[in-house]
Amino acid sequence: MLGLDKTGWIEKPRPTCGPLDAIVRPLALAPCTSDIHTVWEGAIGDRHNLVLGHEGVGEVVEVGDMVKVFKPGDRVIMPAITPDWGSLEAQSGYSVHSGGMLGGWKFSNSKDGVFAEFIHINEADANLALLPDGIEPETGAMLSDMVPTGLHGSELAGVKYGDDVCVIGIGPVGLMAVRGAVLRGAANLFAVGTRPNCVQVARSFGATDIISYKEGPLHDQILDRTNGKGVDRVIIAGGDNDTFDTAIRMLKPGGAIGNINYLGSGDYIKIPREAWGVGMGHKTIHGGLMPGGRLRMEKLAQLVLTGRVDPSQLITHRFEGLEHVEDAVMLMKDKPADLIKPVVSIRY
238 sits near Zn ion (criterion: CB under 5 A): no
Quote the DSSP letter at residue 132.
Answer: P
Q: Which range binds ligand NAD by CB under 6 A, 21-29, 171-179, 250-258, 310-318?
A: 171-179
Query: Are the CB atoms for 29 and 114 separated by under 8 Å?
Result: yes
The residues, ordered by sequence, that sit 6+ positions from 223 with a Cβ below 8 Å of its Cβ are 229, 230, 249, 250
- Name which of residues 109 to 168 contact Zn ion (CB under 5 A): 145
Q: Find the binding residues for ligand NAD in span 279-338 (CB under 6 A).
A: 289-290
Site membership for ligand NAD, residue 32 (CB under 6 A): yes
Cα 285 to Cα 248: distance, rounded to the nearest angstrom = 9
Q: Is 1 in the site for Zn ion (CB under 5 A)?
A: no
CA nearest 149: which of 258, 254, 228, 256? 258
Write the interaction track for ligand NAD spanning residues 194-233; mark x where CB under 6 A is met and - where it is not.
Answer: -x--x--------------x--------------------
Is residue 343 close enough to count as binding Zn ion by CB under 5 A? no
Min separation Cβ 194 and ligand NAD, Å: 7
- Give the C-alpha separation, 62 to 74, whole Å: 10
Q: CA distances (Å), 253 to each of 129, 237, 245, 278, in order?
A: 39, 21, 15, 12
Q: How far is the CB of 322 from ligand NAD (least distance, A)?
A: 22
In the region spanning residues 239 to 268, those forming contacts with ligand NAD, defined by CB under 6 A, are 239, 243, 260-262
Q: What are the φ and ψ backbone dihedral angles of 36, each rounded to 5 degrees?
A: -70, -45
Taking Cα atoms as reference points, which of 119, 132, 123 lies closest to residue 56? 119
CB of 64 to ligand NAD, least distance (A): 27
Using CB under 6 A as the criterion, which residues of the chain lie in contact with ligand NAD when the complex forms? Answer: 32-34, 37, 145, 149, 168-174, 192-193, 195, 198, 213, 237-239, 243, 260-262, 289-290
Residues forming contacts to Zn ion in the complex (CB under 5 A) are 32, 34, 145
